[in-house]
Each structure stands twice: as structure tokens, then as C-alpha cells.
Amino acid sequence: MRLGLSLFFLIPFMIFSQVNGLVQGQNGKSLKPLYGAKIKLIGGKTGVITGEEGQFKLILPKDLPDTLVISARGYFSDTIRVTKEDRFTAFNIVLYAEQLLPEVIVDFRKNATSILRLKVLHVEELTSSELRKAACCNLSESFETNASVDVNMTDAVSGAKKIQMMGLEGVYTQIQFENIPYLRGLESSFGLETIPGSWIESIQITKGTGNVVNGYESMAGLINLEFQKPDEMDQLFINAYQNRLGRSELSFHSGLKLSEKWSTGIFGFVTSQWNSIDENQDGFRDVPIGNGFAFNNRYDFHGEKMEMKFGFNAHKDEKLGGQMNTETNNQSDGYGVLLNNTHFDVFTKTGIFGKKPSQSLGIISNWKYQELNGYFGNRNFSGLEKRAYLNLIYDDYIKTTDHRVKVGASYTYIDISQMADSLEDSRIENIPGAFGEYTYTDSRFTSVIGFRYDYHLLFGSQFVPRLHLKYKLSERTDLRLTSGKGWRVPNYMIDNVSLLANSFAWTPPSSIKPEVSWNAGGSIYQEFDLFKKKASLTVDFYRTWFENQLVVDRENDIIRFINQQDESVSNSLQAELSLEPVKNLTVRMAYKYLDVKALYGDSQQAKVMIPKHRGFLNAAYLTQNKRWDFDVTLSIFGKARLASSPNPEAQEYSSVFPKLNAQITYRYKKWEFYLGGENLTNYRQENPIIEPENPFGSKFDATRAWGPVIGYNLYFGIRFAIPHAKRLIKTLQ
């Protein structure tokens, strides 16, 4: 028993013991990097001096928090409180010249969304401030104000949503909960709606293949979710939400200090869609009714030689869709849709410090149980998954911190069974792996070279090389390049379970083979002055091509799953401009072009349901007294090719359509009141279901939903927070 408990608590997480930053000087006319500025830790009694570009690196001591003092001749000094969490923070520090008038007040704030300039990979961070700009009741709604990630409905009857990055389905994007693989397997189709946005502290979106330390599945990108931390979260936070469609939600979290070294966070979430609506009068519920809950409890330990985090997640939800007043899968009662989802997982993360300041050993572990069952009309499906994951990471440097190495090993166990109609697929997967990564850093250039080797006991070995480069062309210009390989084992049933919402037969693949892809691309980030304020332009391009992909062919009124070699490709181009035309008004504009093709029949054609063009505009304004917050987001979706249909009147392409969302937030002491609307143009796809009057006929199809099924939606909500008395809010520009 004692040995079991020891192993349970020895489960770790990656520790970074170095903080990076940039020190700049403001003389009232210009902003320039400061050479020779002194950076000193008062408690740790260590310090460094900035280089010619104003950059610095400082090894953090084990005893934190501490106070960082920044000083330079001719400038007012400044201080920052540094905690253990700041290992994940890049500081941008501005010192003000002594000749400036003392009554000048400088307001520092962290941008709600930004490109993390000190990262080697192209990483976009969304903070909790950004997530509050939308209804954001669950993760599927957290990307409404973001251009990089698309969230689409999978069909017109289940209400399920999936993400897309660079034109590829969400299964090719690795989603993590604080570096733990998450929303994989049976969770991938419906898991987005089980995580409320209020639990999330920040989201990091990485384009292209990620680091080998995080695994082999990052084929199109990586999304990492950082939950609220017990040490920094409110004593109590409550968010209540209601919309006009009959959806009620309540989420809360609370951070408690148990002792000097121990703290805990408690998270809760309940949701109910209690109103049956059919606004398009096709006889089907526009939104499934049902209830769900989620609960998370985590514990954090901060010691001198070890840090530890552990906890568990649980959620359960049941949804009922289909024809109005239908509650069974009995064909005589009508066409019903049932989704029943149960999840439980335990995670542990431990970091052990070495003798050297930046030396650490981290271990991450996760055990998961997932059950999913339901039906679409008279077509049943079910699934059961048991998963275990272990990742060991050793982090060190060679001579100096300019040469860093990470080595480690991982192990994944998956016991998964799936059934759809008369098809069945069950297997047990064992995947041991090993990896190594070397990082070289100088004042302008950083390179990360990584390799990993994984051996799948059913499908053989895979060697994964990855390369990431970053070059600082100037103080305001970054160039990034990346390339690498990724792979995954497809679960063709759960990955495409929404395709049961029609009358077409499935033809399974002749065999299950790993999907293997290569990704290469890069980005350029440019800061400049516009309207006498800082603006930025980001342009990125990525190309993904598959050695093997399991393609879903829907061209002949039958759904076929085909392993294709060297026929699938995705090209993604995105340009985004961010500016502040007047004080406190932030505007972001983006354009995205997607060219995604595969072999269908005898020719290479565009994949279905992927618009080639998308435009994006977001404007956010915060009043001078910070009481009122206004946010508007407009997205324009271009045409997308649709799957073939036996109905001669069915569209071949979707229509161009807009989606307009807006929200107003008012703050008063510990309270926030928000009122918002979604799809305010009231655009609605006509006839999202083909032959709804004959749901058991040969032409019935609810999988061609490409636009909003319902019209406008209005919502309101209340947030209430009791912050910790000693809580320090670090405001960074």
C-alpha cells in the first residue's frame, strides 16, 4: 500500500526553472531595448545584465516567491513579484526615463490574445479575459473570437461540435490539459461541451507539429488548456447563464489554501437544455434537450525540492434530439437521437528539482474511463475506452543554458471497443516510446531539434523527427519555420459517428492502418506603429501532406472508408492584423485561405464542409473607468463543397454566409453583468435536413448542416467573484 501511494504521488509535470524577458526604455518619444539593465532577485541574491537587444535569462531559485528588481541608469527602477507559476511567463518590462514628469501614470495590462514572442513555435495565447468576451459556457464556444480555430456543427440533429485547424478535422489537432493528452478517442466527438470556459485560465494554440515531448499525435497543431490554479484563483467564482432558447448553466470554482505548501481547487458545472424548439418547422428539435454536469478537484503542493499536482475530472451528460416529442428509438414513435456520455479520469504531475538550478525530472500520468452510447433513429452505436498514460521527462542544460536538452520516455495503453450498426471494432493498444530534444539559443536565433521513436505493438514502429527554428530579424520582427512528422491510429466509428444521421450504409476500411502525415510551414510576425500606437501583423502558411490517410468518401450515396496513400493534402494561409486605432479600442482583422483536397473516385477534389475562404473581424472596447466592456465579432464563411445526395434538389455547394456575435459587460465591485447575442444577422440555413418528413427513407440526410440551424440567440449572465485577500494581480503590457 505504501509503495502504491509513493508511485501515485511521483507523477509529474514538466518544470521550467528559467525566466526570460525583454527590458525596454521609454523616454516619451520612442521605445528602445535597454542594454546593461540590471535584473536582480532580492531573496535569491542572483542577477543578470541585459544584452544588446535588451533580453535577459535568469535562473529562478527553488525558494519562491521572490521580488525581481529591474534598474537602469537614467530610468526609474521597477519591481515584479515572481512566483513558481512564472516559469511559464515571458516578461516584457518597460522602464520610464527619469526626465518624464512624475505625475505620468502608466497602465500595464496583458493582452487578451497575443503571439508569445519568446516561444520558438508559433503559439497564440487566449487569456481568461478573451474567453469572457463571448458566452463561453463551454470549450466549443471559447474560440468564437479567434480566427485560427474553427468550430463547426457535425449534423443538424445531435448538436455536436468539432474543431478544425488548418482545414483538418479536430482529430489531427492534439488537445492537452496542462500537457496531459485530453479529448482523445471516445471523447473527441462530444468532449468540447463538457469543459466550461470559466474553468480555463488560458489557451495556447500552436500551429504545425508540436514538440516531441508532448507526443506523436500533433499533426496539424496543438491546443493546450491551462485551468485556473489553486494558488491564484478566486476564493469563490460563480457564473450563471441563460439564453432565449432554454439553455441554463451554472459554473463555479473555488481556490483554498490548505497550508503553506498545499492548496486545492474545486470546480463545478451543471447545464440543462430544457426547452424543445423547432423554429424552422421541419419537425425536428433544433437543439437536443438534456442535462449534464462536470466536476474537477485538484491539489497542488509546492515544496523546496519537489512540486506536485494531482486530481480528478468527472462528467456525465445525456441529450435527446430528433423529432419533436420522440423519446425512444422505437421507429413507430418517430426518429429519436440519444447521446449518453460518461467520463472519469485521474491525473498526477510531479516535478523533482535537481542539484543544478535548471535540472529537473518530471513525470505525468493519467488514467481514464470513457463510456459512450446512443442511437440515431434505428441506428445504434456504443463505445467503451480505458486509457493509461505515463510520460517521464528529464530537463537539463549542457555547460550553459544556451544548450538545453530534454530526454524521456512515454507509455500509452488503450483498451477501446466501438460498435455502430452491425459494425464492430475492438482492440488493445500498447505504445511505448522514447524521445530527445535539443534547444540552442543565442541573442537572435533559436533552434529546437527533436526525435522520438514509438513502437505500436499492433502496427509497428514510427520514427518522428521535428525541427523548429526562430530568427529575430529585428527587435520587432520574428521569423519562424517548422517541419515534422505526426501519426495517429484512427477510430473510424467514433471519429465519424455523426454520419449515422442519415440512411446511407457504411463500408468499413479493408484494414486499420496508422494515419501518417508531414507538416511544414512558417510564420512572420511584425510589430509597427499605427495611429501612434503599437500594431502587429502576422502571416503564416502551412502545408500538410499524408503518407496515409483514412478518407471518408461520401460521393455515391454510400459512406466508404478508404486508406489513401499520398493523395491527401492541406494548404493553409492566414493573415491577421491587430491594431489599436484609439485608446482602449482593439481591432483584429484576419483572412484565411484553405485548400484541402483528397482523392474521391478518379479525381482529386476539395474535401466536403470546408470553406475555402473565411474573413474575420473583432473589435473590443474597454471604457476608461474599466466598468464597461464592448465586444463585436463578425465572421464571413465562404462556399464549401457538399457531399453528394440522391435528392436532385440538394445544393452542391454551401452559400456564403455571415455570423455576427456581440456582448456588453458591466462591472460593479465583485459583480459582472453581461448581455450578448449570437448570429445577430439571423442567418439560417434553409432545409438543413433532407426529407425530414421521411426520416427512415432512403434519402434522409441530416449530415449536410453547413450553417446555423437556428436564427439569432440572445443570452444574459452574471459573474460573481470573491478574490483572495492577498492575491496579487501581475499586470504585464
* Reduced 3-state DSSP string for 669-688: CCEEEEEEEECCCCCCCCCC
Cα gap 729→85, rounded to integer Å: 13
Helix (H, G, I), strand (E, B) or coil at 10: coil
pLDDT at site 523: 97
pLDDT at site 15: 41
Is 114 within a domain?
A: no
Neighbours of 602 (CB within 10 A): 5
Beta-bridged to residue 381, according to DSSP, are: 374, 420
Backbone angles phi, psi at 289, to 5 degrees: -90, 160
Give CA 727 to chain center in angstroms.
27
CA-to-CA dists, residue 188 to 172, 242, 418, 697, angstroms: 11, 26, 14, 29
Is 117 within a domain?
A: no
Helix (H, G, I), strand (E, B) or coil at 140: helix
Is 314 within a domain?
A: yes
Write the CB contacts of 105 (distance below 8 Å, at least 6 apart in sequence). Answer: none
In the numeric block, which cell numbers belong to residue 140?
Answer: 466549443
pLDDT at site 732: 33
Helix (H, G, I), strand (E, B) or coil at 605: strand
pLDDT at site 3: 40
Cα gap 658→675, rounded to integer Å: 21
CATH number at residue 40: 2.60.40.1120
Q: Is the pLDDT of residue 19 over 80?
A: no
Query: How does pLDDT run across 623-671, given as a tens digit for each residue?
Result: 988 899 999 999 999 999 998 888 877 889 999 999 999 999 999 999 9
Query: How does pLDDT run across 197-212, given as a tens digit for each residue?
Result: 899 999 999 999 999 9
Q: Are residues 56 and 130 part of one domain? A: no
pTM (two decimals): 0.85
pLDDT at site 454: 98
**Which of the listed residues 33, 68, 103 is the one where a domain comes to its end?**
103
Cα gap 413→369, rounded to integer Å: 12
Is 113 within a domain?
A: no
CB-count exposure of residue 380 (10 Å: 0-12, 13-18, 19+):
middle
Query: How does pLDDT run across 612-630, given as a tens digit for each residue?
Result: 999 999 999 999 888 999 9
**H helix or E strand, kind and range, residue 404:** strand 400-420
Cα gap 674→718, rounded to integer Å: 6
pLDDT at site 103: 44
Q: Is the pLDDT of residue 727 over 50?
A: no
Report residue 85's pLDDT band, with 50, 70 and 90 as the boundaries. Answer: low
Residue that wins the pLDDT comparison between 469 and 75 = 469
- Mean pLDDT score, 458-469: 97
The bridge status of strand 55-59 relative to strand 306-322 is unpaired
Cα gap 480→124, rounded to integer Å: 13
The bridge status of strand 400-420 relative to strand 423-441 is antiparallel
Cα gap 438→442, rounded to integer Å: 14
**Which of the listed residues 68, 103, 138 is the one where a domain comes to its end?**
103
In the numeric block, which cell numbers belong to residue 179?
Answer: 500537457
pLDDT at site 29: 64
Q: Are residues 418 and 292 part of one domain? A: yes
Write the CB contacts of 1 (distance below 8 Å, at least 6 apart in sequence). Answer: none
Q: Are residues 137 and 33 part of one domain? A: no
Q: Are residues 671 and 625 part of one domain? A: yes
DSSP 607-644: PTT--SEEEEEEEEEE-TTS-EEEEEEEEEE---B---
Longest dimension (CA), the chain: 84
Q: Is the pLDDT of residue 99 over 90?
A: no
Write the CB contacts of 382 (distance below 8 Å, at least 6 apart in sequence). Answer: 372, 373, 374, 418, 419
pLDDT at site 1: 41
Is 393 within a domain?
A: yes
Write the CB contacts of 656 (distance below 8 Å, at least 6 apart in sequence). Answer: 636, 637, 638, 639
pLDDT at site 6: 41
Q: Is the pLDDT of residue 452 over 90?
A: yes
Is 110 within a domain?
A: no
DSSP state of 410: E
- The region of weakest confidence among 86-100, 154-168, 523-537 is 86-100
Q: Are 239 and 269 in contact (CB under 8 A)?
A: no
Report residue 104's pLDDT band, with 50, 70 and 90 as the boundaries. Answer: very low
CA-to-CA dists, residue 125 to 78, 102, 131, 310, 488, angstroms: 26, 34, 11, 24, 26
Q: Are 190 and 183 in contact (CB under 8 A)?
A: no
- Mean pLDDT score, 373-385: 94
Q: Are residues 95 and 129 part of one domain? A: no
Is 602 within a domain?
A: yes
pLDDT at site 4: 42
- The region of weakest confidence among 86-100, 130-144, 562-576, 589-603 is 86-100
Cα gap 211→482, rounded to integer Å: 10
Q: Are 530 and 579 in contact (CB under 8 A)?
A: yes
What's the whole-number average pLDDT of the chain?
Answer: 89
Q: Is the pLDDT of residue 11 over 70?
A: no
**Which of the listed residues 72, 103, 134 is the one where a domain comes to its end?**
103
Q: Give the domain extent around 64.
A: 2-103
Q: Are residues 203 and 95 part of one domain? A: no
Write the CB contacts of 718 (distance below 8 Å, at least 6 apart in sequence). Answer: 238, 239, 240, 671, 672, 673, 674
pLDDT at site 128: 85
Neighbours of 215 (CB within 10 A): 26
Query: How does pLDDT run across 388-423, given as a tens digit for each residue?
Result: 999 999 999 898 888 999 999 999 999 999 999 889
CB-count exposure of residue 77 (10 Å: 0-12, 13-18, 19+):
exposed
User: Which phi-psi region, left, alpha or beta, contains residue 322 (left: φ > 0; alpha: ψ -120 to 50)?
Assistant: left
Burial 581-598 (b: 16+ CB within 10 A, else e): eeeeebbbbbbbbbebbb
Q: Are residues 182 and 35 part of one domain? A: no
Q: Are residues 144 and 73 part of one domain? A: no
Query: How does pLDDT run across 313-354, given as a tens digit for each residue?
Result: 999 999 999 999 887 767 678 999 999 999 999 999 999 988
Q: Are residues 304 and 185 part of one domain? A: yes
Residue that wins the pLDDT comparison between 656 and 29 = 656
Residue written as cell 485556473? Answer: 228
pLDDT at site 54: 82
Residue written as cell 474553427? Answer: 150
Q: Are residues 170 and 80 part of one domain? A: no
Write the CB contacts of 500 (distance below 8 Å, at least 6 apart in sequence). Answer: 376, 379, 381, 420, 421
Write the CB contacts of 683 (distance below 8 Å, at least 6 apart in sequence). Answer: 657, 658, 659, 707, 708, 711
CATH number at residue 439: 2.40.170.20
- Mean pLDDT score, 723-733: 48
Q: Are 201 and 195 in contact (CB under 8 A)?
A: no
Q: Where are the beta strands (DSSP E) in 303-359?
A: 306-322, 336-353
pLDDT at site 5: 39
Cα gap 86→232, rounded to integer Å: 12
Sheet-wide strand order for 78-82: 46-49, 38-41, 66-71, 78-82
Best mean pLDDT range from 83-92, 116-125, 423-432: 423-432
Beta-bridged to residue 622, according to DSSP, are: 629
pLDDT at site 135: 66
Q: Are residues 388 and 250 part of one domain? A: yes
pLDDT at site 13: 37
Q: Are residues 515 and 452 part of one domain? A: yes
CB-count exposure of residue 667 (10 Å: 0-12, 13-18, 19+):
middle
CB-count exposure of residue 697 (10 Å: 0-12, 13-18, 19+):
exposed
In the numeric block, which cell numbers belong to residue 12?
Answer: 509529474
Q: Are 512 and 490 in contact (CB under 8 A)?
A: yes
**H helix or E strand, kind and range, residue 645:** none
* Structural domains counted in the chain: 2
Is 733 within a domain?
A: no
Q: Is the pLDDT of residue 548 over 70?
A: yes
